[in-house]
Amino acid sequence: MNTFAADAVSYENESHLLDDLLRRIAARHPHAPALGERETAIDFATLDGRVHRVANGLVASGSAGDRIAIVGRNSAEQVELLLGIARAGQVALPVNWRLAAPEIRYILSHSRATRVFADREFAGIVAQAMEGRPVPLIVLDDAGAEGFAAWRDRQHDTPVQRRGSAEDVVLQMYTSGTTGLPKGVMLTNASVMASIALFSRPPLDLDTSDVIYAPAPMFHITGIGPVLRSVQSGARLVLASQFVPDEAVRVMAREGVTYTTLAPAMIQACLAAPSFRDAAPAALRMIVYGGSPIAESVLREAGERMGCAFAQCYGLTETTGPVTLLTPEDHAPGAQRLLSCGRAADGIEIAVIDADGAPLPAGETGEIVVRGDIVMSGYADDPEATTQTIRAGWLKTGDAGYLDAEGYLFIRDRVKDMIVSGGENVYPVEVENALLDHPAIADAAVIGVPDPRWGEAVLAMIVPAFGHALTTDDVTAFCRDRIAGYKCPREFRFIDMIPRNAAGKILRRDLRAPFWEDRERQVG
What pLDDT, on a 0 to 100 scale, did the predictor assign at position 10?
A: 38
What pLDDT, on a 0 to 100 scale, did the predictor assign at position 50?
A: 98
Which residues of the chain fall short of a pLDDT of 50?
7-13
What pLDDT, on a 0 to 100 scale, did the predictor assign at position 5?
A: 63
Amino acid identity for residue 495 in this structure = I
What pLDDT, on a 0 to 100 scale, did the predictor assign at position 390?
A: 98
Helix axes 76-87, 19-28, angle to 10 degrees: 110
Q: Which CATH class is domain 18-164?
A: alpha beta
Count of helix runs (H) and strand runs (E) in the chain: 16, 27
How far, in Å, CA of 62 to CA of 55, rounded? 10
Amino acid identity for residue 112 in this structure = R
Give the Cβ contact number of residue 375 at 10 Å. 24
Is domain 1-16+188-416 classified as CATH 3.40.50.12780? yes
The residue count of the chain comes to: 524
What pLDDT, on a 0 to 100 scale, did the predictor assign at position 15?
A: 65
What pLDDT, on a 0 to 100 scale, did the predictor assign at position 79?
A: 98
What pLDDT, on a 0 to 100 scale, did the predictor assign at position 355?
A: 83
Domain boundaries, given as residue ranges, for the chain: 1-16+188-416, 18-164, 419-516
pLDDT digits (tens, 9 = 90+) for 79-96: 999 999 999 999 999 999
**What is the torsional sign of CA 190, 195, 196, 202?**
positive
User: Domain 419-516 falls in which CATH fold?
Assistant: GMP Synthetase; Chain A, domain 3 (3.30.300)
CA 332 vs CA 296, 324, 337, 520: distances in Å: 9, 18, 8, 20
Q: Are 68 and 85 in contact (CB under 8 A)?
A: yes
pLDDT digits (tens, 9 = 90+) for 464-485: 888 888 999 999 999 999 999 9
pLDDT digits (tens, 9 = 90+) for 147-194: 999 999 999 999 987 778 999 999 999 987 555 689 999 999 999 999
Average pLDDT, the chain: 90
18-164 and 419-516 in the same fold? no
Q: CB burial class (10 A; 0-12, 13-18, 19+) of residue 463?
A: middle
How far, in Å, CA of 276 to CA of 386, rounded? 46
Q: Are 82 and 113 in contact (CB under 8 A)?
A: no
What pLDDT, on a 0 to 100 scale, did the predictor assign at position 407?
A: 97
Question: What is the pTM (predicted TM-score) of this model?
Answer: 0.84
The two beta strands, 419-421 and 409-414, are unpaired
